[in-house]
């Protein structure tokens, strides 16, 4: 049995202009110790999908209207709040995009991390303090014990993100969800954070869901790539297969916009013309149809479901673009 199974998850937001179809029936699974990358442009539903898994969508205006999220066989969407709180932060932990807004500015780093330890374990305050020092050491913060009484503003952006990782790992979670944790950091620090999470995953054996719009970040880290577009998963493939043989027109466009060090000739980077569909007025046809150069008549009439194009490789497209 998979550690996490997401089945036909649907999330909507009510706005004065209408209902936003943010997540439109996505399904995937996560095995123990596996790393999955969810990629796509801003606004495609990546973050909303994982916030829905954790059930931290603001309600109202947001609402999960369908699907199942099975964690070790138990549906998180049907779980009572007391049971859900025992899972959040304990068995499934999350790192958010901006650590400065996620950390409390008036509480010390030591107190914020030890609170999570005290909440989910039977440690006393002295043991929780020692555990906090161990966690800060683990994520590479120097002189950890001397920094327990410092506040978030006294840390750099990269160090704050390390603190968030330490907090997420405080209870040895089975799943770590990282929601674009390197977006606000410079390239060097980004690489350090990715390497840190990869090392900790190998050491601790946890599964990881990494959300990003940067395909370069996940290239050497995840086992499987899920491409999202307009609230749908349009391609799912093992990492090496995805980079070697992208099959959905959107994925081909994403990869074509990246510079490649192994390119034999100096080719111009490509762009994807047009704009994503209006999520309030979603078309019944393929959501990518207005931007796709491989359109056939069926694309304008029917939205394709995921279908197999190779071992563990699926796309939601009517056309075999690589045929």
Mean pLDDT (whole number) for 99-122:
87
* 37-71: pLDDT as tens digits: 999 988 899 999 999 999 999 888 999 999 999 99
16: confidence class by pLDDT, cuts 50, 70, 90: very high
* Rounded Cα gap, residues 220 and 210, in angstroms: 12
DSSP 23-61: EEEEEEEE-TT-EEEEE-STTSSHHHHHHHHHT-S-TTT
pLDDT digits (tens, 9 = 90+) for 63-105: 999 999 999 999 999 999 889 988 988 899 998 877 777 889 9
- The average confidence (pLDDT) of the chain is 89
What is the reported pLDDT for 171? 82
Where are any strands of DSSP class E within 124-223?
175-179, 207-212
pLDDT at position 317: 95
Confidence (pLDDT) at 261: 67
Task: Give the pLDDT confidence of 150-197 residue by residue, as tens digits.
Answer: 999 999 888 888 898 888 888 889 999 998 888 777 888 888 888 888
pLDDT at 284: 87
Name the residue among 171, 169, 174 with its Cα closest to residue 2.
174
Q: What is the pTM of this model?
A: 0.91
Residues 125-151, mean pLDDT to the nearest whole number: 90
pLDDT range class, residue 34, cuts 50, 70, 90: very high
Model confidence over 235-286: pLDDT tens digits?
A: 999 999 999 999 999 999 998 887 766 656 666 778 888 888 999 988 889 9
**Could you give the CA distance from residue 183 to residue 222 in angstroms, rounded to a whole number?**
17
Task: Give me the pLDDT at residue 228, please.
Answer: 96
What pLDDT score was predicted for residue 117? 86
Q: What is the mean pLDDT of residues 8-15?
A: 95
What pLDDT score was predicted for residue 157? 84
How confident is the model at residue 169, as a pLDDT?
86
Write out the H or E segment, with its range, that includes residue 92: strand 92-95
pLDDT at 99 (0 to 100): 74
Asked whether the beta carbons of 3 and 72 are under 8 A apart, the reply is yes
The pLDDT tens digits for 283-310 are 889 999 999 989 989 999 999 999 999 8
Question: What b/e readout covers 196-227, taking b as 16+ CB neighbours within 10 angstroms?
Answer: bbbebbeeeebbbbbbbbebebbbebbbbbbb
């Amino acid at each position: 049995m998979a550690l996490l199974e997401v089945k036909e998850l649907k999330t909507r937001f009510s706005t004065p202009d209408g209902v936003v179809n943010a997540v439109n029936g996505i399904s995937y699974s996560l095995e123990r110790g596996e790393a999955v990358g969810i990629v796509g442009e801003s606004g495609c539903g990546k973050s909303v999908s994982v916030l829905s898994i954790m059930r931290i969508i603001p309600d109202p205006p947001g609402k999960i209207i369908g699907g199942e999220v099975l964690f070790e066989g138990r549906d998180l969407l049907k779980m009572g709040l007391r049971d859900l709180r025992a899972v959040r932060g304990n068995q499934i932990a999350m790192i958010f995009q901006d650590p400065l807004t996620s950390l409390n500015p008036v509480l010390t780093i030591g107190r914020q991390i030890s609170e999570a330890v005290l909440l989910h374990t039977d440690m006393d305050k002295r043991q929780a303090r020692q555990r906090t020092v161990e966690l800060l050491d683990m994520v590479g913060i120097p002189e950890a014990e001397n920094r327990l009484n410092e506040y978030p503003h006294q840390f750099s952006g990269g160090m704050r993100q390390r603190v968030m990782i330490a907090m997420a790992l405080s209870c040895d979670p089975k799943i770590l969800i990282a929601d674009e944790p390197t977006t606000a950091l410079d390239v060097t620090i980004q690489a350090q954070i990715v390497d840190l999470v990869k090392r900790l995953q190998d050491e601790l054996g946890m599964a990881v869901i990494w959300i990003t719009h940067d395909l370069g970040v996940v290239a050497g880290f995840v086992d499987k790539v899920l491409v999202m577009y307009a609230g749908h998963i349009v391609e799912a493939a093992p990492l090496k297969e995805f980079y070697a043989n992208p099959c959905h027109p959107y994925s081909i466009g994403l990869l074509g916009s990246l510079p490649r060090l192994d390119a034999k000739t100096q080719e111009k980077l490509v762009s994807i013309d047009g704009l994503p569909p209006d999520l309030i007025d979603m078309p019944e046809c393929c959501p990518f149809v207005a931007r796709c150069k491989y359109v056939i008549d069926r694309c304008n009439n029917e939205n394709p479901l995921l279908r197999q194009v190779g071992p563990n490789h699926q796309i939601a497209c009517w056309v075999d673009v690589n045929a």
